[in-house]
Structure 1
Amino acid sequence: MELLFLGSAVGAVISYFIFQKFSNDRRKNLTETQSVILLDKIKKVTKLITVEGEFAEIYHHEDKQNKLLGLISSKKKAIILINAKTHIGFDFRKIKMQADTKNKTIKLSNFPEPEVLSIEPTIRFYDIQDGLLNKFSSEDLTQVNQAAKEHVLQKIPESNLMQAANHEALEAIALMKNLIETIGWQLDYSSLELPNGNIQLLE
């Protein structure tokens, strides 16, 4: 009888530890699954951060070439109207995140600077003046298109697009924070260098 009782007790203890291990493994797997889902959702949020800007610029294009061994110079020029659409955003591949499953924390250690994702110029030529030996050709369109992109690129810092993109990034981090907290996790962004005065946006 005592042996039967002892065997039952040992069996109960073993069953308890097996149940505990199964429960712990299950909780661990659930936590790890949550971290993977969170990281994936954060990446999707960052992909949505883009700021669109439009530029209308007048660009004076001039090309001077020497002909006949430099004895004659021939110049062609045109006034070009550039209407360009630009997109400013972030390369989400540069974001550094780590999941601390033990403390249920997502650590955001690096958020990239905004960069120009695309420039889509529409070009119209006005007041085209061909040189006697230097006329506009189809190849000039490619060169002018590239010059137009570079011209717009130089104008972007003078606009407020980069500041707007930074503001969008802060709002995205706030969205990440709320998203993570809905399932009982925390977002640690203490190592990020946030623009001055914008900490309140995340609180």
Structure 2
Amino acid sequence: MIKRILLGLGIIGSIFLLFKYCEFKKEDDSTTIDSTGLIQQQILNVGKLIVTEGHFSEVITYKNQQKYLLDMLSFEKKALVVVNADVTVAYDLHLMKYDIDSINKIITIVSIPKAEVKISPDIQFYDVEQSKLNPFTGEDYNKINKSVKANLAKKIEKSSLKTNAQNRLISELSKLLITTSQLGWTLKYDGKVIESEKEFGQQFKL
């Protein structure tokens, strides 16, 4: 009789433990689903267009010479060119690619779009000198425009504009890092685990 009672209690205890395990498992699965949703929401929040603006100015002198009669006769044209340019460096994080491993709680940033540099120059000509045998043409303006953009590109590389843009990018991505850390997830980029904003900076060589 006692054995039957003990056996019955054992069965009831096993059923109770099984029920509690299933309930715990259900709660754990629910937590994983909830955290995955929060991660996805944060990615949507991060997915925006980051634009950093700058202004550059320069003055150049354009000269061109046409020679005739075995170089004995020449006609020169020249102009003072004043350039004011608005420059933007943009990262479109809508284009960021990522992978979510909800089982192991790992989010991997697969790729981050490259910076898009847009140069919008305003070119003004002063002290223009030309002759009928060597007038300014569309080809001259194309050469000047190409030269201006090349010079501006060099200035941009030497300036802090790109670095400032990257800092803004890292600051935005760090919001995702904060969320993953709070939820117990791991964030990876370029094959490495990212644990701090500084490590993001190292990936961009800042």
Shorter-chain-normalised TM-score: which range? 0.5 to 0.7
Secondary structure at the counterpart of residue 198 of structure 1: helix
Identity %: 25
Aligned residues: 180
Pairing 1:1-150 to 2, within 5 Å after superposition: 36-44=40-48, 47-48=49-50, 50-67=51-68, 72-90=73-91, 92=93, 95-111=96-112, 115-131=115-131, 133-138=133-138, 140-150=140-150
| Gaps in structure 1 of 5+ consecutive residues | 1-15
**Range moving further from structure 2, 184-193 or 139-148:** 184-193
| Gaps in structure 2 of 5+ consecutive residues | 1-18, 202-206
**Range moving further from structure 2, 88-97 or 123-132:** 88-97
TM superposition shift of 1:89: 2.8
How large is the Cα RMSD of the aligned pairs?
4.1
What residue is the counterpart of 1:3 in the other structure? none
Q: TM-score, normalised by structure 2?
A: 0.64
The residue type paired with residue 177 of structure 1 is L
1:132-174: CA deviation from partner (whole Å, max 9, x where unpaired)? 5111235533442232222211211221112212222221221
Distance change >3 Å, CA 193–CA 135, structure 1 → 2: farther
What CA distance in whole angstroms lies between the structure 1 residues aligned with 2:139 and 2:193? 46
1:20-51: CA deviation from partner (whole Å, max 9, x where unpaired)? 9x99998887666555544433332xx22x22
What CA distance in whole angstroms lies between the structure 2 residues aligned with 1:99 and 1:187? 10
TM superposition shift of 1:177: 2.1
The residue type paired with residue 160 of structure 2 is N
What CA distance in whole angstroms lies between the structure 2 residues aligned with 1:109 and 1:160? 27
Q: TM-score, normalised by structure 1?
A: 0.65
Contact between 2:61 and 2:78, CA under 8 Å: does it hold in 1? Answer: yes
Distance change >3 Å, CA 192–CA 136, structure 1 → 2: farther
The residue type paired with residue 121 of structure 1 is P
TM superposition shift of 1:176: 2.3
